[in-house]
Structure 1
Amino acid sequence: MKKIWGLVVVALLGLSLSGGISTQAKEKASDKKDEVTIYLVRHGKTFFNTTGQVQGFADSPLTDKGIEQAKQVGKGLKNIKFDLAYSSDLGRQRNTAKQILAQNENKKPKLSEHDGFKEWNYGGFEGKTNAEMWTPIFEANDLKFDEDWTDYDKLVNKLGDEGVADAIAEADSLKVAETYEQITKRGQAAMDKVIADAKKKNAKSVLIVSSGSMIPTLLEMLVPGEYQGEAIDNCSVTTLKYKGNKYSVDKINDTQYLE
């Protein structure tokens, strides 16, 4: 009789363990199922990038190099099945996104546009040289501006993303440059739209083409403290994961596809 009860206990224990393992496996599978990978890409090199001019809401076309960069990134990501794709209505972002999607070997999503992914609006500084806008801000913080952006990480570490944006808005004589509050308001609206779309369509991979100042702003909004003033190069890829209503950073400024 004892042997029979022993066998029953072992069997029940085995079922319990099996159920626990099965539950854990299901939970892990569910976590993976709900995870969204977001590929944040800066647009390819433009005419204004080449001439060192301020380029926010103002636009300039992709150069031949910028087009080639976009194609290279597209080839590097060609096996990723993008379920959703976004840019703003800025030509440099839209055309970069189109070049990336053109290289993809999977069914391509329709490219959606949202103002939240536009670059910062630099107001009266638009089209002026980078030095005209940045030199006074750098010098006010005991730093030196150069076209290699050598001290930019120091500026960000000192002022934060918010302080940099508000310093530009304050210095704009036309008083139309965006404040940080205005920038983040549209950026948050854009990301809320992306996540809502992703949940609706059960999306797993999302392409977003944006710009060199807006990408760090999105990072600071979604994963505060993770961005430390790193360069965001033309056509670099910054990768985020979204799961359980939380974002995490995978990579920042990945340029492997351009090498």
Structure 2
Amino acid sequence: MRHGETLFNRLGKVQGWCDTPLTSQGISDLKKTAEALADVHFDNMYSSDLKRAIDTVHLIKDGNRVSQIGKIKKFPEFREVFYGSFEGSEIDHIWKATSRTAGIRETSDVTEIINTIGIYKFREVVKKADPRHLAENTEELNLRMARAIDRLKAATQREKRVLLVSHGDFIKTLGIKYWEQSDGLHDIPFPTNGSVTRGVLTDSGKFEIVDYNCPPEEFEA
């Protein structure tokens, strides 16, 4: 599940590993999400280690009527994508800088950029466009996603259904790689705040996303 709306979401600023609080609108929306999931049983709940995700998972936990959830475990591996020195910048700025670095028409439309140069080159170009070259590239992000899935598998050996709160671009990147409807090359819709993406993780460690960016009311107990 993606966290609720934050201050930087509202202001249109880049928010990767930097963190801003949930807005009043974000909290209000999450209370509706919590009510939609109130009668869905979860064996456990997890989140990334960023506060916006932690606050979100606690709102969902507090609203659930049928699950017995103890202390929330935080996984740094499920943090948002890291944007390096672009953190806190205007979102339009990072994508215009990326398109210029890629040598294509300057645009703030990230879908156009990805579909023009491909998702793998896109991550490399973002890192190159970052003045300090700290932003995560494809290899770094793929390795972190693999670690995240391995960490989740180890933690959920005895669990059947869990909820994990993560972040928009991280969930989207998982979707590009693991969603059955993605070709693995082009862009897919960005998850909305509070949306649910359902994945299946087998005992052998195979991971597949079967439902992507869905409103929580679509999920039944």
Structures share fold, TM-score greater than 0.5: yes
Name the structure 2 match of 1:126: 87
Whether the 8 Å CA contact 2:180–2:210 is kept in 1: the answer is no
Q: 1:236 to 1:175 in 2, by over 3 A?
A: same
- The 2-side partners of 1:79 and 1:129 are apart by 39
Tell me which structure has the larger Cα radius of gyration. Answer: 1
Q: CA-atom RMSD, angstroms?
A: 2.3
Deviation, structure 1 residue 77: 1.3
Deviation, structure 1 residue 241: 2.1
- The 1-side partners of 2:213 and 2:179 are apart by 15
Whether the 8 Å CA contact 1:80–1:205 is kept in 2: the answer is no
Name the structure 1 match of 2:200: 241
1:213 aligns to what SS in structure 2? Answer: helix
Tell me the matched-pair count: 211
Q: Percent identity?
A: 31
- The 1-side partners of 2:208 and 2:146 are apart by 16
Q: 1:248 to 1:123 in 2, by over 3 A?
A: closer
Which amino acid letter does the alignment assign opposite residue 128 of structure 1? S
Question: Quick check: which one's helix share is greater?
Answer: 1
Name the structure 2 match of 1:215: 171
- The 2-side partners of 1:166 and 1:109 are apart by 40
1:79 is the counterpart of 2:28:
no
Q: 1:171 to 1:110 in 2, by over 3 A?
A: same
The CA deviation string for residues 198-230 of structure 1, in whole angstroms up to 9 with x for no partner, is 22x2x1111111111100222344447626411
The CA deviation string for residues 146-175 of structure 1, in whole angstroms up to 9 with x for no partner, is xxxxx4434333444333222211111112
2:29 aligns to what SS in structure 1? Answer: helix
Which amino acid letter does the alignment assign opposite residue 236 of structure 1? S
Shift >4 Å, 4+ stretches: none
Name the structure 2 match of 1:142: 105
Whether the 8 Å CA contact 1:76–1:257 is kept in 2: the answer is yes
Whether the 8 Å CA contact 1:43–1:210 is kept in 2: the answer is yes
- The 2-side partners of 1:85 and 1:158 are apart by 38
- The 2-side partners of 1:131 and 1:92 are apart by 22
